[in-house]
Amino acid sequence: MIRTALAYVPYLLCVTALWLVSNDPRPEVPDLLTFQFSDKLLHAVAYSLVGACAALGATRRAGLTRAALVEAVVLGAGYGVVDEIHQAFVPGRSSTVSDAVADLVGVCFGAWLFRRFWRSRTAPVEDAP
């Protein structure tokens, strides 16, 4: 039980960090990262980390199954929606459906990437002939 709960600590740290950033009315973004659709790219990158961390927790709990992948996507995307609602109440921030979609894309990519990495890392090594 405790080991399972500890598997979700990285996910909880990610979403806590995002919550704190979302509380900032005007987060500073370097000029290098300000271009058309840069906001969506930043959302996708941040939420890919959330998706990977959620996949870590779900995989530790349920193994490398599709159910674990679905759980990771639901956890990550669910938090993305909660965060967008939260931003609607922060002065200077906006809440948009396109941001939530970018969050979902990032979560899916992060969970998929984690699953690929985990599978390659835990696959049995075949002996060379």
For 55-106, how does the pLDDT look when each residue is reduced to its tens digit (9 = 90+)? 998 888 777 788 889 999 999 999 999 999 999 898 888 888 988 999 999 9
Q: What is the dihedral of CA 83, 85, 91, 95, to 10 degrees?
A: 90
Q: Please give the structure tokens belonging to residue 72.
A: 């990771």
pTM for the whole thing? Answer: 0.80
Phi-psi domain of 37 (left: phi exceeds 0; alpha: psi -120 through 50; beta: other)? left
Looking at residues 40-52, what average pLDDT do you find?
Answer: 91
Nearest to 7 by CA among 71, 58, 69: 58
- Return the number of other C-beta atoms located less than 10 Å from residue 78's C-beta: 14
Structural domain spans, the chain: 2-18+38-122
